[in-house]
Amino acid sequence: MRRILLAAWAFVCLSSGVADAQPRTARTQFEVTYVAADVIYVDAGSEEGLAEGMELEVRRLEPGQPLMAAQTIASVKVIATSPQSAVCEVAGVVQPIVRGDFATLSSVDAEKVAMMMTSLNARQYAQVVEFSDFDGADPLEDEQREYVPRPPLHEINRTRGRISFQQSSLFDHVSGAAAHQAGLSLRTDVTRINGTYWNFGGNWRGRINSRNDGATNQTLTDLINRTYNVGLRYENPNSKNRIGVGRLLLPWASSLSTIDGGYYGRRLTKSTTVGAFGGTMPNPTAWNYDPNRQIAGVFSSFEKGSFEKVRYSGTLGAAHTRRSWRPERQFGFFQNTVSVQRRVSVYHNAEVDYRSQGRFGSMTSGPVLSRSYLTVRTQASDKVSFDVSHNYFRGVPTADTRLLGSGLLDDLLFQGLSAGMRVQLPERSAAYFQVGRSVRNSDTGASWNYMLGYTRGRLPWLGLRGDIRTSRFSSSFGSGRYHTLTLSRDLGDAFRFELQVGQQNFSGALTSQSRARFANGRVEWLFSRNYFVGLGLTGYRGQVQNYDQVFVDLGYRF
């Protein structure tokens, strides 16, 4: 016989309840359980179908908010798995990732997981094995199959986001003047553009035109908008090259803060990458912020080990900065991370200036430590984490102090040794604190700083998500305290409300601002499937700035 038919049936019953067992379903959403310097852990692994190379988006969902309204804050890629957990490398960040955020699979990887789970749930049938006179398939048929059209992958030309036209008016109560601006706001994630490995994503807000009658130019809203990242990135897993252009972080050295420019990296081996970067430094939360500063440099990055055991990643490089195109600094930068499973991580970054006598006005020569930040974090349990940090600045940080009350400058407030703890509590709430002892060369004694905070997913009676924090600090660029309350809520799928109010008292050599109070409020209404309208109001009352800002958005969501 040319064909032989073999059939076999196998039935395995472990107990009488096996027939009633529920089939496993494919999960596409996972909770972030641990956050290190440049990686995160999620609460699922190979048993749930996750595998190395899969891409996920980290999203944040406010309590009471519908799933479709969750905001994408980062993109990650699975680099290691165990049966119950997976380690993901952070590829792009819009906002810092925290425990409690959730990650969702890309549509392509979600289909792969669903197919795998379907095969696991399928009933077992007799397998028919057929043999022929040929050792393999017909070569002519295989060649014909290569020309059968296949649908493109879902990730190719996938476009999601929102674009809106914004009209704002600013009324300055100090000068009595007003300013009116028209602008565009974009938040998007476009993958595999035109079938290539170019991706575009992030947040951006810019002006189309402006009519200024002498009113304040830089507002609190403007400063916060400048902390966003947006860029065009080339990320091909089969290529040795990696490119980024826009307002973004250098993936191998995020301690350098945001640059307006670009980078190029080339992988020499599986664990070694070298490259170059350049641009301006627009982020007002950077410790050495200057809107007129330009930077260019080179770097080399190395990584080794396993996230399931011990892993090391490090970057070293050299950079040169210019201020208004005049020479300013020559420095080396170093960034190192060591993690032991998911329990302990150590992160350190430093900048060392090289001074040459007579160059740039220097009276001495040799290396000088300008910046150092060290933190050791341990996850004592799923609900409790501790960290110990040491922060050092040789000079005075130049971050914009108007952002103190927003919480974006908390990393600069504690200079010297500090320690903190975060505890997950019932009712989707958490308490956190940080205490530090600041000592500077000019101080006659040490000062104790603290920051306390509490967040709750749903406040009683109001149904709002709330976060309240208070801080007292004494640092090289000034001293003071701030208090902030943030509330938000979603009513159904179409309406969103958020409010932030705060007060900061600040005194320092670089500003005459003493006390300032502010309130940011915004409502957003999705009045159709794709179109939305938003209304916002910012009130700022301080001794230097005193203004109201009103803006209206009309946009399209895709």
Contact 536, 520 (CB under 8 A): yes
Asked whether 86 and 80 are in contact (CB, 8 A), the reply is yes
Phi (first) and psi of residue 394, to 5 degrees: -75, -40
Residues 6+ apart with CB under 8 A from 488: 62, 65, 464, 465, 496, 497, 498, 499
Distance CA 43, CA 50 (A): 11
Taking alpha carbons only, the member of 322, 323, 271 closest to residue 297 is: 322
- Give the range of the structural domain holding residue 112, as residue numbers without chain letter: 18-145
**Domain membership flag for residue 459:** no
C-alpha to C-alpha distance for 171 and 488, rounded to whole angstroms: 26
DSSP conformational letter for 396: -
Q: Which two tokens stand for residue 100?
A: 């409690």
Q: Round to whole Å and give the CA distance between 501 and 522.
A: 12
Over range 30-52, report the average pLDDT: 84
- pLDDT at res. 296: 96
> Does residue 73 sit within a domain?
yes
Name which residue leads in pLDDT, 352 or 215: 352
What pLDDT score does 64 carry?
61
- The answer to whether position 347 is within a domain reads no
Output the 3-class SS for 342-381. CCEEEEEEEEEEEECCCHHHCCCCEEEEEEEEEEEEEECC
Task: With a cut of 90, say whether residue 240 has pLDDT above it.
Answer: yes
Is pLDDT larger for residue 387 or for residue 544?
Answer: 387
- Asked if residue 480 is part of any domain, the answer here is no
Please name the amino acid found at residue 337: T
CA atoms of 76 and 90, how far apart (whole Å): 4
The pLDDT score that the predictor gives to residue 89 is 85
Q: Do 197 and 236 contact (CB within 8 A), yes or no?
A: yes
Judge whether 106 and 94 are in contact, CB under 8 Å: no
Is 311 domain-assigned?
no
- pLDDT tens column, 59-104: 887 766 666 667 788 888 888 888 888 888 887 777 778 888 889 8
Tens of pLDDT, residues 419-428: 999 998 988 8
Q: Is residue 542 part of a domain?
A: no
What rounded mean pLDDT belongs to the chain?
A: 81
Spatial neighbors of 309 by CB under 8 A, at least 6 apart, are 340, 341
Cβ–Cβ under 8 Å, residues 32 and 100: yes
State pLDDT tens for residues 95-137.
778 888 889 887 777 877 877 766 655 554 454 545 454 445 5
pLDDT at 47: 83
Give the model's confidence band at 446: pLDDT under 50 very low, under 70 low, under 90 confident, else very high.
low
Total count of domains within the chain: 1
Nearest Cα neighbor of 171 from 516, 554, 553, 541 is 541
Is residue 457 assigned to a domain? no
For residues 322-341, give the mean pLDDT.
90
Q: Are 340 and 364 in contact (CB under 8 A)?
A: no
Asked which of 6-10, 18-22, 498-502, 542-546 is least confident by mean pLDDT, the reply is 6-10
Mark residue 423 as left, alpha or beta (left: phi above 0; alpha: psi -120 to 50; beta: remaining). beta
Q: What is the CA radius of gyration of the chain?
A: 27
**Is 174 within a domain?**
no
Residues in the chain: 558
41 or 2: which leads in pLDDT: 41
The CATH number of whichever domain residue 127 belongs to comes to: 2.40.10.340
Amino acid 7: pLDDT: 39
Q: Is the pLDDT of residue 258 over 50?
A: yes
- In percent, the amount of the chain with pLDDT more than 90 equals 30
Handedness of CA 505, 506, 511, 512 (dihedral sign): positive
- Report the distance separating Cα 132 and Cα 1, nearest Å: 10
d(CA 421, CA 451): 11
The answer to whether residue 280 scores a pLDDT higher than 90 is: yes
- Give the amino acid at 145: R
3-state SS, residue 29: strand
CA distances from 140 to 3, 136, 389 (A): 21, 12, 66
> Residue with structure tokens 């660029």?
477
List CB contacts of 320: < 8 A, sequence separation 6 or more: 295, 296, 297, 327, 329, 330
The DSSP bridge pattern shows strands 465-475 and 531-542 to be unpaired
Q: Say whether 461 sits in a helix, a strand or coil.
A: coil
Under DSSP, the state recorded for 284 is: T
Query: For 47, phi and psi rounded to 5 degrees?
Result: -65, -20
Among the listed ranges 107-116, 207-216, 310-319, which one has the minimum average pLDDT value?
207-216
SS3 state at 32:
strand
pLDDT of residue 298: 97
pLDDT of residue 229: 84
